[in-house]
Amino acid sequence: MRHEYQVLKNNLLNSYHNKVMVLKAATAVAPQVRENSIADHAFRLSIGLEGLVTVANASGDAESADELEKVVAQCSRGEIPLPAIA
């Protein structure tokens, strides 16, 4: 995967995991609200990753698009990966 996509993918994953960590640590949040908020953040992550797939495809970078599609599929299964360490 091209470095640019790797950086953007990691930014999206970092943002998701930071938001989830804050929600899980918050004690004044009802469980249903927490669950709904985490699902909303997962949806936003998915939209961001799909956008990267679209850009990679549009620019003719099939290799990056394929790798990003694998991450999208993993997230769709509820298996949100941690960002890669640079």
Question: For 12-29, what is the mean pLDDT?
Answer: 92
Q: Is the predicted pLDDT of residue 16 greater than 80, yes or no?
A: yes
Residues 80, 65: Cα–Cα separation, whole Å: 18
Query: How many C-beta neighbours within 10 Å does residue 16 have?
Result: 23
What's the pTM value of the predicted model, to 2 decimals? 0.91
pLDDT bin (cut points 50, 70, 90) of residue 61 is very high
Q: What are the residue ranges spanned by the domains of the chain?
A: 3-76
3-state SS record for 47-71: HHHHHHHHHHHHCCCHHHHHHHHHH
Q: Is the predicted pLDDT of residue 65 greater than 70, yes or no?
A: yes
At 27 the pLDDT is 85
pLDDT bin (cut points 50, 70, 90) of residue 4 is very high
